Amino acid sequence: MAVFGATAEAQAAGTDANIQKELDRKPLAAFPASIAVARVQAAGYASRTAAGWGTGQYSVVTTRDIETDADTERLGKLPMVRGVAPLNRLVLPQRFQTDYELRHAAAKMHADVLLIYSLDTTFQDLGRTTPLSIVTLGATNTKRKRILCTASAALLDTRSGYCYGLAEATKGHEELQNAWKTRDEVDLRRRDVESKAFTAMLGELERTWGMVVREHATAARGGGARYDTPG
């Protein structure tokens, strides 16, 4: 027989210890909040325009190859935000295992919230054969290439690791394979798709941040930590 209305203590007692640890995280950021930003990718990540920094479970990309100054300004104009700055190698460790290392770096900057994001880009072959006219009695290859990128982001409390919210957006580009004559052209398309996905993700992030502000930025929690950017 099912039991309803279990107490919080009973629920905690029956919850896996690692799961309970995550559930016990609390929001501690003060508002208006300062935000540190980091792009994370798989360990050993490298493209023609950027490479990941560090070893371990993931790497951090400090080169801004698809982001623009306008993107940073857009984040800075969010309500209840006092400042936005990227994490750079001056505050980052060499090895990354969990989000703790990024939160520790954000703490050095006195940032209240850590925004981490990642780009997942794939190249796909869309091969299909189209019949020609009866005169040619043959077929032509109309193989197409597609680039898809999903930009994902998470807002974490610097102090506790509490997750305030997520945002995600996907963009793509498709054209005939023979339209891509050089690797530089392919990479230009890749960066364009990633940039569009990142911009679309920012739109979702704005909506997520609006919900965060409505839920957590109360008058009783005003103030906030001093925000410094390493020089």
Q: In the structure, what pLDDT confidence band is assigned to residue 125 with cuts at 50, 70 and 90?
A: confident
Over residues 18-37, the mean pLDDT reads 93
Cβ within 8 Å of residue 34, ≥6 positions away = 81, 82, 83, 84, 85, 109, 110, 111, 112, 113, 224, 225, 227
pLDDT value, residue 150: 97
Q: Is residue 22 part of a domain?
A: no
Structural domain count of the chain = 1
Q: What is the pLDDT of residues 157-216, one digit of tens each?
A: 999 999 999 999 999 988 776 666 688 888 999 999 999 999 999 999 999 999 999 999
Confidence at residue 229, expressed as pLDDT on a 0 to 100 scale: 37
What pTM did the predictor assign? 0.81
Residue 47 sits in a domain whose CATH number is 3.40.50
The CA-atom distances, in angstroms, between 105 and each of 64, 69, 162 are 19, 22, 16
- Asked if the structure places residue 9 within a domain, the reply is no
Question: Does residue 87 have a pLDDT over 90?
Answer: yes
Beta bridge partners of 130: 140
CB-based contact 158:103 (threshold 8 Å): yes
Question: What is the residue range of 162's domain?
Answer: 28-216
Share above pLDDT 90 across residues of the chain, in percent, rounded to a whole number: 65
User: What pLDDT was estimated at residue 173?
Assistant: 86
Residue 21 belongs to a domain: no
Residue 19 has a pLDDT of 92
**Model pLDDT, residue 134:** 41
Q: Decide if 72 is inside a domain.
A: yes
User: Is 18 part of a structural domain of the chain?
Assistant: no
